[in-house]
Chains A and B, each alone.
Chain A
Amino acid sequence: EAGVAQSPRYKIIEKRQSVAFWCNPISGHATLYWYQQILGQGPKLLIQFQNNGVVDDSQLPKDRFSAERLKGVDSTLKIQPAKLEDSAVYLCASSLVVRQAIPGELFFGEGSRLTVL
């Protein structure tokens, strides 16, 4: 079974430039997550989709970050304009349909490492 695919693995940009990350979840996984992992910290949820609808984007800096999941499959996370503090690893994860009673296992991709100079 193929895992969660992410690209690019590494990206270096200058501040105020834009960047986009792509994620393809495990086939059949309705729920998709983007996490931000800053060096020395645990991952922090940015946005959660179920199919192509947003479930939670409360911690997404909406003035500069945007994400979409067209057709309920793959997803793109965009940052525009980037700031120095956006330097982090952006992890995509997917899971089967979320049931409120019992959380499902999240499967993570290898991440996209962003360096903002």
Chain B
Amino acid sequence: AQSVTQPDIHITVSEGASLELRCNYSYGATPYLFWYVQSPGQGLQLLLKYFSGDTLVQGIKGFEAEFKRSQSSFNLRKPSVHWSDAAEYFCAVSFTGGGNKLTFGTGTQLKVEL
């Protein structure tokens, strides 16, 4: 069965600093990979997704992620964090024939210091 690991439970960065959130997955074939963001009291919003092709994908709000097959990773990055980016971030995986079933990681809580 596929699984997703987000090793960092909490991360604190200063506003304007760069950000990288880690995500590792376990699955035999090429997965479909997603990053979602959840603000307090809100539902999850899709930031970006990787299906195939270019391993560097661009998303909304200035986020990007890079798929590295050799490391089974799909890390999320942002060059300059804004205070409004404070939220919880979830990495998720699906696969061909999976019927759109997403398996989520446990999430990383991002705090932004002004």
Asked whether A98 lies within 8 Å of B100 as measured between CB atoms, the reply is: yes
The distance in angstroms between the C-alpha atoms of A108 and B94, with both chains bound, is 16
- Residues 75-106 of chain A, each 1 if its beta carbon lies under 8 Å from chain B, else 0: 00000000000000001010100101111111
Asked whether B96 lies within 8 Å of A100 as measured between CB atoms, the reply is: yes
- Give B81-114 interface residues, CB cut-off 8 Å to A: 90, 92, 94, 96-102, 104-107
Instruction: Quote the shortest CB–CB distance from B109 to chain A (angstroms).
Output: 10
**Nearest A-chain residue to B93, judged by Cβ:** A103
The distance in angstroms between the C-alpha atoms of A19 and B67, with both chains bound, is 42
Asked whether B101 lies within 8 Å of A45 as measured between CB atoms, the reply is: yes
Across the interface, which residues of A come within 8 angstroms of B94, CB to CB? 103
Asked whether A106 lies within 8 Å of B46 as measured between CB atoms, the reply is: yes
17 intermolecular pairs with C-beta atoms under 8 Å apart: A3-B43, A41-B107, A42-B92, A42-B106, A43-B102, A45-B101, A48-B99, A56-B99, A91-B44, A93-B43, A98-B100, A102-B51, A103-B98, A106-B102, A110-B41, A110-B43, A111-B43
Chain B contact residues, CB within 8 Å of chain A: 4, 32, 36, 41-46, 49, 51, 90, 92, 94, 96-102, 104-107
Across the interface, which residues of A come within 8 angstroms of B45, CB to CB? 108
Asked whether A42 lies within 8 Å of B104 as measured between CB atoms, the reply is: yes
Which of A44, A103, A110 lies at the interface centre, i.e. has the most chain B CB atoms within 10 A of its CB? A103
Across the interface, which residues of B come within 8 angstroms of A103, CB to CB? 32, 51, 94, 98, 100, 102
Chain A residues within 8 Å of chain B by Cβ, number: 27
Instruction: Say if the beta carbon of A4 comes within 8 Å of chain B.
Output: yes
Instruction: Quote the shortest CB–CB distance from A31 to chain B (angstroms).
Output: 6
The distance in angstroms between the C-alpha atoms of A98 and B104, with both chains bound, is 19
Instruction: Say if the beta carbon of A61 comes within 8 Å of chain B.
Output: no
Instruction: Say if the beta carbon of A109 comes within 8 Å of chain B.
Output: yes
Instruction: Say if the beta carbon of A55 comes within 8 Å of chain B.
Output: yes
Across the interface, which residues of B come within 8 angstroms of A3, CB to CB? 43
Across the interface, which residues of B come within 8 angstroms of A44, CB to CB? 104
Asked whether B49 lies within 8 Å of A105 as measured between CB atoms, the reply is: yes
Instruction: Quote the shortest CB–CB distance from B29 to chain A (angstroms).
Output: 13
Across the interface, which residues of A come within 8 angstroms of B51, CB to CB? 102-103
